[in-house]
Amino acid sequence: MPAQAPLRLVLVAGELSGDLLGADLARALRNRYPSIEMAGIAGPAMEAAGVEPWFDIETLSVMGLAEVLRHLPRLVGLRRTLRRRILEWPATALVTIDAPDFNLGLARQVRARGLCTIHYVSPSVWAWRAGRIPRIARSLDLLLTLFPFEPPLYQPYGLDARHVGHPLADALAAGPDRESARKALALEPTASVIALLPGSRDGELKRHVGLLAETAQRLRRDRPEAELIMLLTSERHQEMARSLAGPALAAAGVQGLVDLTRSGLAAADLAIAASGTVTLEAFLLECPLVVHYRMAPSTYHLARVLRLVRSRHVSLPNILLNQSLVPERLQAEATPERLARDAADWLDHPQRVEQYRGHARTWRHKLARQAGERAADAILERLGA
């Protein structure tokens, strides 16, 4: 009898949040199928979980219509090179993780060559470009979603879509331990702790660090005893923050913390955070939020002109509850004065904070379903492995 072909999966993640999802999935796959081979576009977490990095995850860390257009020739070349390598390896299946604009095009191309395609994390079709759903369904054999309201969106188009839960909720199932987090970060146990989060991409830092520095100066004036911390994803981003607004941050007494986002959010009484996955992390840690975002003006203009935005909300807590649970300040509304007022509204109303934390506990329970294990089981079932 001929030897059975090895199980080879190409995993492609496009940013740091996808790297964490991919690592969780890779560990679960390895536990169930020890001889599995995994390679692709990976960050440090996926690499540590046993995914061979053909390309570094930074090659895909681009966001926004205008930004993607500027990088389009490079991204098209990367997709072509990656497609060729996938087919030459050869892979058993392609598992793409988030980054839909790049990944779903890649999936469509290799599926046309007979390869099984699986995507982890539904594109936010309920909020942005709902017309993509039929094309997504034609590009995939299996879609694994993080939120329970997503699979029904795809059922009319015949796509096998399954809710597996969210790894963040799994990791945070026990809830926050504020006392331990503050002790670990050497923060005053009884002070108001306000976390400032400019985002995880270079462009987000360029647009947000100055805004947050000015906001911090107002917070320092109004609440001189408060502990102000800025949560940054890397030493490089800390250097960027210093170069962009170092004197203003220092004058406001802002302490920069690198790669300590989870501890910082667990310790904080409030987070002023750029819209993104971190808003869900803050929510699951029961940390009240003020959400801000400034995108490139050209991207914002295109989105409005083309009517690409469908949802009333941009932050995940508001989307999950379908209500304005947390303030969202976008573009011209994202001003230091407005953010400081929103922060005061949280800190001065403890009953509002307690209601928020009740919602957070409910959703943490709903989303904690051992997502990596469920996703791995669904993938191996689909492949008959």
Give the per-residue pLDDT at 63: 47
pTM (2 decimals)?
0.82
The residues, ordered by sequence, that sit 6+ positions from 114 with a Cβ below 8 Å of its Cβ are none
In the prediction, which pLDDT does 57 show?
84
For residues 130, 134, 136, 141, the Cα torsion angle rounded to the nearest 10 degrees is 140
The predicted pLDDT at position 75 comes to 77
pLDDT of residue 309: 54
Q: How confident is the model at residue 71, as a pLDDT?
A: 57
Q: What is the pLDDT of residue 126?
A: 74
Residue 312's pLDDT is 77
Q: What is the pLDDT of residue 35?
A: 96
Asked if 46 contacts 19 with a C-beta cutoff of 8 angstroms, the reply is yes
Q: What is the pLDDT of residue 2?
A: 43
Handedness of CA 284, 285, 286, 292 (dihedral sign): negative
Nearest CA among 190, 163, 102, 117 for reference residue 383: 117
In terms of phi and psi (left: phi > 0; alpha: psi -120 to 50; beta: otherwise), the region of 133 is alpha
The pLDDT of residue 299 is 61
- Evaluate whether 320 touches 148 at the Cβ level (below 8 Å): no
Give which of 35, 205, 10 is closest to 97, Cα–Cα.
10
Angle between helix axes 297-305 and 65-88 (nearest 10 degrees) is: 90
Domains of the chain with bracketed CATH: 8-165+369-383 (3.40.50.2000), 178-367 (3.40.50.2000)
pLDDT in the model for residue 306: 45
CA 318, 324, 329, 333 dihedral sign is: positive
Q: Which regions in the chain score pLDDT beneath 70?
A: 1-4, 61-72, 127-129, 297-311
